[in-house]
């Protein structure tokens, strides 16, 4: 609908065809079933990996396909636009870029080929902490260097997919907040290999949708010093490099959700007859759908612009940050608006589980809050783009 296939390059068209073929084998009933059972979509994830999509963005020299953010966006958007949920994949994509760009050759050689082959997974970054909330500089999880390794203590909250991941990326302080000149200094990031690591307690947090989210407790967790990504204390800048593509990928999932909702609303508005005519003939029903469609086209354009800028290799982090944040904001608001419009269009039937509307409605609410809340996105735009005095 939104994706104009004629605009795509031949390679992108092939990727789109490949992911559509995979999705067609599952259908919406699969996503409904895993949601009803609150299960991780293991079958789909396995096949996604076998088809090579897990290694899509890993550089070719490590056995991946070396695709860019635009192609990754197409893949994730299509999953959500077909009634699915691409959550298990965005983490692997942006963390693959993070590791490819900033990790040592040792880390890259050890993990990237296996990630590319789909033998192992790296699906989550453990950043959020209960006390710090949106203020990531206040994380307290601490990694102390001792005898050639780091020893991590602390806790994290709302960390996704940990039980289905072999590797996670953990954000910790290596210098306490009180001892740094700039509050963004003294943060470091580590690849933690869960298969070989002891001391992490993982408890599930049940959420309003099928998310596989956990709280983590680190007690004297030993990580080899080689697993530090980049320089100690400079983690904040690496995280920023990861968060911009993350925001663009999230925007793509939201655009996929909005496409799905609008498709459902349009279809139902045409066939549901009340008072002797299709409900869509009423402007009270058709205008909200038309309005959110217009918003979708706008969000899509910003998302593609952001993805193309990132792929161009341009190092202007400020410009990429601006577009990535705006794309995430517009797309998440659009998906949520589309979810509500579709609920209204369906009347009572939107709440019937079998229509799938309430499932996607619950899931699409997340992205107004995570990975960064839209208030904080607006604060970013106000402070960093418009130069208005900081509110924090």
Part of the chain binding ligand FAD (CB under 6 A), chosen from 118-126, 187-195, 269-277, 338-346: 118-126
Q: Does 141 bind ligand FAD (CB under 6 A)?
A: no
Q: Which residues between 192 and 251 bind ligand FAD (CB under 6 A)?
A: 207, 211, 213
Spatial separation of the C-alpha atoms in residues 226 and 133, rounded to whole Å: 29
Q: Does 124 bind ligand FAD (CB under 6 A)?
A: yes
Spatial separation of the C-alpha atoms in residues 305 and 224, rounded to whole Å: 39
Q: How far is the CB of 248 from ligand FAD (least distance, A)?
A: 16
Contact with ligand FAD (CB under 6 A): which of 95, 126, 296, 323?
126
Q: Which residues between 159 and 188 bind ligand FAD (CB under 6 A)?
A: 159-160
Size of the site for ligand FAD (CB under 6 A): 24
Q: Does 385 bind ligand FAD (CB under 6 A)?
A: no
End-to-end alpha carbon distance in the chain: 41
Helix (H) or strand (E) holding 77: helix 69-81
Q: How far is the CB of 381 from ligand FAD (least distance, A)?
A: 12
Instruction: Select 70 or 212, whichever has its Cβ closest to ligand FAD.
Output: 212
Q: How far is the CB of 319 from ligand FAD (least distance, A)?
A: 23
Q: Does 391 bind ligand FAD (CB under 6 A)?
A: yes
Contact with ligand FAD (CB under 6 A): which of 125, 172, 187, 302?
125
Which SS3 state, helix, strand or coil, does residue 52 take?
Answer: coil
Spatial separation of the C-alpha atoms in residues 130 and 139, rounded to whole Å: 9
Burial of residue 263, with CB atoms counted within 10 A of its CB: 0-12 exposed, 13-18 middle, 19 or more buried: middle
Q: Does 377 bind ligand FAD (CB under 6 A)?
A: no
* Strand stretches in the chain, DSSP E: 122-126, 142-146, 149-160, 167-173, 187-193, 200-205, 213-224, 228-229, 273-274, 277-278
Burial of residue 193, with CB atoms counted within 10 A of its CB: 0-12 exposed, 13-18 middle, 19 or more buried: middle
Residues that bind ligand FAD (CB under 6 A): 124-128, 133-134, 158-160, 207, 211, 213, 366, 369-373, 375-376, 379, 391-392
């Amino acid at each position: 609908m939104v994706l104009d296939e004629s605009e795509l390059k031949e390679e992108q068209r092939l990727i789109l065809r490949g992911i559509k073929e995979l999705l067609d084998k599952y259908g919406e009933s699969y996503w409904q079933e895993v949601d009803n059972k609150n299960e991780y979509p293991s079958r789909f994830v396995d096949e996604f990996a076998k088809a090579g999509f897990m290694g899509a963005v890993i550089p070719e020299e490590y056995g991946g396909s070396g695709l860019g953010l635009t192609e990754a966006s197409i893949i994730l958007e299509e999953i959500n636009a077909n009634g699915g949920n691409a959550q298990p994949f965005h983490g692997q994509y942006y963390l693959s870029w993070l590791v490819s760009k900033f990790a040592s050759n040792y880390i890259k050689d050890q993990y990237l080929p296996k990630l590319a082959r789909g033998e192992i997974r790296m699906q989550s970054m453990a950043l959020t902490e209960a006390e710090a909330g949106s203020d990531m500089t206040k994380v307290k999880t601490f990694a102390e260097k001792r005898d050639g390794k780091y020893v991590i203590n602390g806790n994290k909250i709302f960390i996704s997919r940990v039980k289905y991941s072999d590797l996670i990326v953990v954000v910790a302080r290596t210098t306490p907040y009180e001892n740094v000149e700039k509050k963004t200094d003294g943060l470091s990031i580590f690849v933690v290999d869960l298969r070989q690591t002891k001391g992490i307690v993982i408890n599930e947090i049940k959420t309003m949708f099928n998310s596989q989210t956990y709280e983590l407790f680190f007690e004297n967790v030993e990580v080899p010093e080689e697993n530090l990504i980049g320089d100690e204390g400079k983690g904040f800048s690496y995280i920023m490099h990861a968060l911009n593509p993350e925001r663009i990928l999230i925007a793509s999932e939201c655009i996929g959700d909005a496409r799905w909702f609008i498709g459902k609303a349009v279809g139902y508005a045409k066939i549901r007859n009340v008072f002797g005519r299709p409900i869509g003939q009423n402007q009270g029903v058709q205008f909200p759908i038309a309005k959110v469609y217009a918003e979708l086209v706008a969000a899509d354009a910003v998302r593609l612009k952001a993805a193309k800028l990132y792929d161009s290799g341009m190092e202007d982090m400020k410009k990429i940050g601006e577009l990535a944040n705006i794309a995430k904001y517009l797309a998440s608001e659009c998906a949520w608006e589309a979810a509500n419009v579709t609920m209204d269009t369906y009347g009572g039937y939107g709440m019937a589980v079998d229509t799938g509307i309430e499932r996607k409605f619950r899931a699409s609410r997340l992205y107004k809050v995570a990975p960064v809340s839209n208030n904080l996105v607006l604060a970013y735009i106000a402070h960093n783009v418009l130069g208005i005095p900081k509110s924090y």
